[in-house]
Every structure is written in structure tokens, then in C-alpha cells.
Structure 1
Amino acid sequence: MALRKRGTVIPRTSFVRRGLVGGVVLSMTVLTACGGGDSDDSTDAAGGAAACRPASGKVTLDYWSWVPGMQKAVDVWNAENPKIQVKVKTTPAGNAGTYQNMSNALKADKAPDLGQIEYDSLASFRLKNGLTDISKCAGVTDAKGDFVDWTWSQVDFGADGKDGVWAVPQDTGPMALFYRKDVFDKLGLAAPTTWEEYEAAAKKIKAAKKGQYITHFSQTDPNWFTGLLWQNKGSMFERDGDTWKVSVDRPENRQVADYWQKLIDEKLVATDLQGFSPALYKAWNDGEVVTWISAAWGYSTIRDNAKSTAGKWAVAPMPQWEKGQNQAGNWGGSTTAVLKGSKHPAEAAKFALWLNSDAKALEILNKEGGLYAAAKSGLELDALKQPVNFYGKQPIFDVFAQASANVDTDFTWGPTMTDTYRFISDGTAKATGGGSTLGDVLKDADSQSADSLRKQSLDVKE
């Protein structure tokens, strides 16, 4: 598989917080340091990360992750590393509860050594002083070239390591269209190439069978909705030096919101199903929901939770806003971060590097969890070149390779994305219930996000 540039770019300069005394600007490089396992290191003479010395005895690390099959990868590590054992706690997806629990654990000084954090939320945890700089831990800076360029820029915040390294990239989430090919074929429908065709297909699918919908619109997946905005070049934040501009309610995003509002109003999509829920999985198995616009990792979600539909699904590129376009969104993609307070950052960093670059680990995480690796070697996995039986023996990762090449790399995350996602999720619940519109959600989330930045003493352009 040819290696292509993928994903999003964090703004090039480090996040800054407006000082509370005398207008002094404080760089976030001073917020955290990497302490050695059994040592009393703090920071070096230049104020950077500490030496990150290994512990002298046996170490046990706690790791929170929601990736299916993660335990199998960790079992391989534990068998090969008797002096560094890892305990996995399986958690809900980040915005479904893990991030809040992680934040609470950090406040109580009870956080795990390692945590799965998506790229879009990494800045929020850094702003909370919740991450450990692992740049001085053995092998970390040398690993930069092992990962797809844009993903490394996520974990050092585009500062070429000068501002520290705050996690190890794990995977990316280029988006495409999963669809029930048998249903489409029966109705004489081809995979829609435009959103106009997608709407027409939705009408035909609804008319063909009572209770059947083209897809669901979840209240609890704001990062999925963000992926739809991303495809239309609808970045929600802009940066000029140390000043932020919130652009959640911009024309490109309004176009997406208005489109989906129309589908909601005409009852062409199910609005009573939430992402990653038993009810949704039943709807897939029963043929009540027949498409899912999702990321590369979504292939295992359908495979593992809609087993009765094996051989009936296919994958196609995302529908386009204009015929002939080739644009894709990105949903998710995670890192393995060493959290503040870990007594063993050297060992935690060593495990994080292994987990996301070792051939055996990458193979397990792709097969079991559907991860589309951020490591360059992971993009050459034999599994990504093979037909996938569940999807009618289609080589589906060819579609995702194309999608990843068509993701806008200028998309900018805000430093308080967990807040922005909460605003969108809360508003969407009201909109899908008929109490407002998705346009209102964008408008409200725009003003609320600006207030969130100000509460963090960040400069916000009106």
C-alpha cells in the first residue's frame, strides 16, 4: 500500500494561556515533566523534561483503553516483559465516559499510567496539565520517523519536539461509506457518489420497507458529526499567533447541518438509536439500518456486532457535495499517552512505543480492533492488502487508503474540544427530539466554545 499523507494538523505553535499576573504569557511547555520511576528527578537545567530513568525493580502499569482485543496485544507484551507488566482496563469510548473519568482520576491523583486519548482531545488534557512529557524517555524522539508525519505532529503539537512529546500515535480514522449491498442491489441502487444521491436513496429505502432507514443520526457521537464537517472543509477553530477564532458556525458547517436536518425532518434517518449501542447492533442485524458513514476501524464494529449480515456489506467512498470531488473526513484516531502522576514514565513510554509499532501488536490491533495504524509499518500489514470475507471478499482497505489521501490536513482542533463536543452532543439531543435544529446547535456551540476558551484564559478573536 502506498504511503500517503493523512489527517489533520495541529497549529504549529504551542498552546498558550494568558497569564493572570501582569499580562505575562505562560507557555504550556512548563506545565508537565517526566519523572523517573524510582528517582527524584524533576526538570533539567533548561526547564524541559527530566531524564526519565527506568525503575530498578519490577513495574506494573495500569492502562485504560476501549480498543477491542487490546488484552490480546498486552498478553504478548506481558509474556515478553516479565519485569514490566501491564493491566488493561476496558473503558467506554472517550466521550462516552472515559475522558470524564480520566479527568476525575487526575484530580484525585488516581489516574492510570497510560490512557487512550484521541488526537482531538489530547490538547484538552494538556491544557489541564494531565499529560507527562516523554521526550526524554528512551527511544521516543528517535521514533518520530516511524509514524505517519501528521500523526507525530499531533503528539508534539507541531513544534518538532521542541515543546515536548506528549503521547505516541496509535491509529487514524479516514472515513468511507459502509452499506448493505444486498439491500441496495435489490432496490436497483448503486452506492451513492453524492449527498444528493444519498438523500434519494434514503427516500427509496424508506418507501420500500416500513421501519427501514438509510442510517441513524446519533446524539452521542459529536466527533462523528465533526467528521462530516471535516469532509466539507469545515474546520471549527482557526489560529492567528496566540489568538483563537471559533468558527463552529461557518457556512461550510451550516451546509452539512442543514442537509442532515432535512433528513431528520423528513424522517429519513433513525433518531432513536445511539452509536455503539445494542439497539443499533440489532438494527444492523435486522436490516433496519443499512448504511453507516464511519472510519476504517468501523469495519470490525459491524463485523463483530452484526454477524448475521456477513457477506452483505460493502464499502464505498463517502458521498461528495459536488460530483467529481474526492474529499473525505476523519473520525477518531487515537494516541497512547502517559498521564500525569505516573511513577514509571520510562516503562510506560517503552510500552506505548512497542504497542504502536511492533509488528505482532499492530497485527492484533488491526485484526481484533480494526485499527488503521499510525505507524508506517502498520500500513504495510498483509491483512490490509487482502479481501475481507465479511465484506463479500472486497479489499476494503483500498477504499480507506484512497480516503486517507483525501483528508484535509489543514483541519484545526481547538484546545478545549471535549467542551465543544459536549455542547454539540447536548444540542443534538434537543434537535433530534424536535426542540431545535442542527443549525441552532452550531450557533450555540460556537458561542459556548468561545466562552470555554476564555475561561481557560486564552485569547479569543471576536
Structure 2
Amino acid sequence: MRKNTRAVTAALLATAALTVAGCAAGGNGGDGGGSADAASCEPSGEDVTLTFTSWIPGIEDAVAMWNEENPDIQVEVQTGPSGNAGTYQNFFNQLEAGNAPDLGQIEYDALPNFRVQDGLENLAACEDVLAAQDQFLDWTWGQVTLGTEDEVYGVPQDQGPMGLFYRSDLFEENGIEVPTTWEEYRTAAEEIRELGGYITNFSQTDINQFAGFVWQAGGQWFANDGDQWTVDLTSDASMEVAEYWQGLIEDDLVATYPAWTDEWNNAYNSGEVWTWNSAVWGANSILSGAPDTSGNWSVALAPQWEAGGNAAGNWGGSSIAVFKGTDHLYEAAKFALWLNTSEEALTSLNTTAQIYPATEAGLELPVLKEGVEFYGGQAIYDVFAEAATQVSPDFVWGPTMTQTYADVSDGFKAAVSGSSTIPEALEAGEQSTIEAFQAASIPVAE
């Protein structure tokens, strides 16, 4: 699911104000220690009712299936706004007050924030969780282990492998080849601009889209060696991506409408903008935002930095985590695994919310093999199934992503206005992120 990336920085500051001790004392009566031990992941031996908070539309349907089949482990689902729109702050408040739900929806890029505040149970204590590792794509499992070998802080739910949505009718009518490399993409951008259109829209606020571009290029923004964090928004790969998009902006080869606005929708609906480099969930965004273009879109793998390459970035994705102090770690882990691995649950989640599974088997769901009328009958999920296998498992998110997104977004807006550049925005974002780490007493390499 798409994330609200322009969260208020105050949410970060409120989060940082929570001490590790405060979070450790939260939850539902746990001992406040570090990683859960093996003995803590044992059946309760009695009927259990779990509380679970999520913002996924229709997730109540999947929970109802579980409740019908498991009378001894009932789940009460609570819904709220998306994570950065308020639910994450509620989680931190609940952890501090000692009344957090047993389980919660947490996006991959937000997991480190909760981990650094000691707000999550280590699911590695549960044998069934460890045994399920092979069911998930390697890179999605890497997102919930946070780069460790013996810790698991959530069960992967969905993913956002990126591809290229494009107006196949316009490319064909004008004799323009669908680009397979970023060099070809720029050439196509020049041809499309001569025709009065734009190849795409550069988003000033979707910084996790840009992170997906860096991910594809082999870049890394954060690293954690177990003792301290490294912040590197200005790596060679990151700056290569930045300079590429800066060039497109300076040469007026991309539109710069604010994303998710009527202007943005109209640009795609009218044919002014021809492509969108987006994640699998973008299929529904185009369908709803550009209804007059039905049947004219197709999907291809993302352009590559080198001809013949096979790398993909990711934009989005969530996990189901268990909060520190739950009295029912075994039951919570069992439900989280069922929700994200069973065919009936995954089918329900895809039907109600277009959730794209994080499991190998989930990519083969019958519902994902059907042609999509809006995309000319193309079985578009086959493309994303291939892209999902091309995402590097090594990309790490930092523990202050709301602040990083907000600050880099400010820089991107300045770049679009001509008062700054994309590389300068990353340089400033790196420095402000290091300062945010220091303010929150998070160890960071100088």
C-alpha cells in the first residue's frame, strides 16, 4: 500500500522522547527485557483474545475467517489511519502507557523506529516463525530481521516491487520504443517532449519512490553494525540517481505536479504524462485516477542502469509485528503467520485491498494470474512477480524515516522550483538525519 511520506516531523520528536526504558515497560504486562526467550513463546493453555490494529481496507474479512476456524484464539481488529497519518504515534503512546495492542501493522521503513525504542517482541523465540522463513522472498524477510541473523521483528505481509506503467497506445502510435534502460528512458523523454507531453511526473513528496530508485541502483542509505548506525544518503549510487533526475528536471523533460492531486490525476488521464515508475499497487492508482484511459496502459519491467540488467527497486510494504509485553506471544505469532501465508487470507487481502503477498506461493495465487481489463487484458502481476525476485535483500531503513522523508522532500521541492538541486537535497537530508539521530541519542557514525 502507498505510504504517506510527508509526515509531520513532530511525530518523530515525540517518538524520540520515549526512552527505551519507557517502551520496555509498556505492552500488556511483559517484563520489559530485551529479546523474548524461548520459554515465552508457549501456548497459553486457555482461550485467548488478541487485539490487532491495522489500516488495511477489508482486513476484517480475513480476521473473520480466522475467528471462525480458531474459537480458542479470537482476534479483535481495530482500524485506524495509515501509519504515518496517526497510527504509529498512537502505537508509541500506547507502548508508553502500557496498553498497546498485541499486534500491529508496521511498514518496513518504520520497523527500525519501533525496534530502536524497544517496542517489539523478537519473534525468533517462536520456532514456527523461524521455520516459515523459506516461504518468504529473501528480501522481504530481510526487511523484518533488520540485518540481523537471530532476530525477527515482524511477519512480512506485502511488498511493492517496482515496474514501468506506460501508455502502450501512445508509444505505438508515435513509433517510440518502450525503454529498457534509463539511457533509453531519457531518449524517449526527449521524443515525447517534442510531441508536447512528458514521459513522467517527478514527485516532490514520494521520497520512498526515490529510495526505490536508489535501491535498484545498488545504493544504501543506512547500515547498522549492531553498535551504531551509518547514514549515507550521498553514496555513489544515490548521487548517480540524483543527477539523472536533476538532468530531466533542468531540461524540462518531466512534469512536476504535486502527487496524488487532481492536477496529477488529470495529467495521466489526459495523456499529458505517458509513464509512471511505480510499485505493484500503482495499478489501482492509475485505474482510479485516469479512468478515461482504460485499455491503453501496459506494464513492463523497470528500466535498467545497464543493458541486460535485472534489478528492481521496491516502494512500500508492511509487516505484522507483535508489541513488547504481550501475554500471548505464541498465539499472536500464530495468527500473524496465518494472515500472511495462508491462501485464503492472502486471497481475501488481495481482493479487498490489492495486497501483493510477500510469500513465494502468494505470487502464484490464481487471482493474480488473471488478465486485467484496464491494462488491455495483460496479466500484469506476472511482470511484478518477476520484478519481486530482482529486489536486493540488503536494503536497510533507518530509525527516523519520517524525519528523513520530510527533510528530503523539502529539498526536492526546492529543486523543482530551481532554488536547489536533488544532490543538494540529499546532502542536506543526510546532515539533518545525523542530527536527528544525535538528538534522539541513537549511536551514529561520524
Q: TM range, normalised to the smaller chain?
A: 0.7 to 0.9
Corresponding residue SS for 2:341:
coil
Aligned position for 2:37? 48
Corresponding residue SS for 1:171:
coil
Structure 2: how far apart are the matches of 1:302 and 1:383? 19
Aligned position for 1:297? 281
Aligned position for 1:200? 187
1:295-335: CA deviation from partner (whole Å, max 9, x where unpaired): 22322332344333221110112112233333221112211
1:341-369: CA deviation from partner (whole Å, max 9, x where unpaired): 65654543333222101111111223343
Contact 1:30/1:47 (8 A) holds in 2? no
Question: CA, structure 1 residues 181+449, in 2 after alignment: closer, same or farther (shift >3 Å)?
Answer: same
Residue number among 245, 257, 274 corresponding to 2:242 in the alignment: 257
Query: Deviation at 1:81?
Result: 4.4
For residues 315-394 of structure 1, the aligned pairs below 5 Å read 315-340=299-324, 345-394=329-378
Name structure 2 gaps, 5 residues minimum.
Answer: 1-19
Structure 1: how far apart are the matches of 2:330 and 2:26? 8
Aligned position for 1:86? 76
For residues 95-114 of structure 1, the aligned pairs below 5 Å read 95=84, 97-107=86-96, 109=98, 111-114=100-103
Cα RMSD over matched residues? Answer: 3.3
Residue number among 111, 126, 130 corresponding to 1:141 in the alignment: 130
**1:419 aligned to 2:403?**
yes
Contact 1:33/1:133 (8 A) holds in 2? no
TM-score, normalised with respect to structure 1: 0.80
Structure 1: how far apart are the matches of 2:181 and 2:438? 39
Aligned position for 2:203? 218
Structure 1: how far apart are the matches of 2:24 and 2:147? 18
Question: CA, structure 1 residues 456+41, in 2 after alignment: closer, same or farther (shift >3 Å)?
Answer: closer
Contact 1:215/1:291 (8 A) holds in 2? yes
Corresponding residue SS for 2:106:
strand
Contact 2:322/2:332 (8 A) holds in 1? yes
* Amino acid aligned to 1:280: W
**1:271 aligned to 2:256?**
yes
**1:429 aligned to 2:413?**
yes
Residue number among 271, 274, 285 corresponding to 2:269 in the alignment: 285
Structure 1: how far apart are the matches of 2:34 and 2:51? 29
Contact 1:34/1:132 (8 A) holds in 2? no
Indicate the percent of aligned positions where both proteins have the same amino acid.
Answer: 46
Corresponding residue SS for 1:331:
coil
Corresponding residue SS for 1:245:
strand
For residues 16-165 of structure 1, the aligned pairs below 5 Å read 32=24, 42=31, 48=37, 50-51=40-41, 53-54=43-44, 56=46, 59=49, 61-65=51-55, 67-81=56-70, 84-92=74-82, 94-95=83-84, 97-107=86-96, 109=98, 111-136=100-125, 139-161=128-150, 163=151, 165=152
Name structure 1 gaps, 5 residues minimum.
Answer: 1-27
Query: Deviation at 1:191?
Result: 1.3
1:430-457: CA deviation from partner (whole Å, max 9, x where unpaired): 3223332111111011112222333344
Structure 1: how far apart are the matches of 2:154 and 2:183? 40
Query: Deviation at 1:269?
Result: 2.4
Question: CA, structure 1 residues 272+242, in 2 after alignment: closer, same or farther (shift >3 Å)?
Answer: same
Residue number among 216, 227, 245 corresponding to 2:212 in the alignment: 227
Contact 2:298/2:378 (8 A) holds in 1? yes
Corresponding residue SS for 2:287:
helix
**How many residues end up aligned between the 2 structures?**
425
Question: CA, structure 1 residues 431+241, in 2 after alignment: closer, same or farther (shift >3 Å)?
Answer: same
Contact 1:148/1:375 (8 A) holds in 2? yes
* Amino acid aligned to 2:106: I
Contact 2:142/2:394 (8 A) holds in 1? no
Question: CA, structure 1 residues 282+348, in 2 after alignment: closer, same or farther (shift >3 Å)?
Answer: farther
Report which of the two has the higher share of helix. Answer: 2
Structure 1: how far apart are the matches of 2:393 and 2:334? 29
Structure 2: how far apart are the matches of 1:110 and 1:281? 41
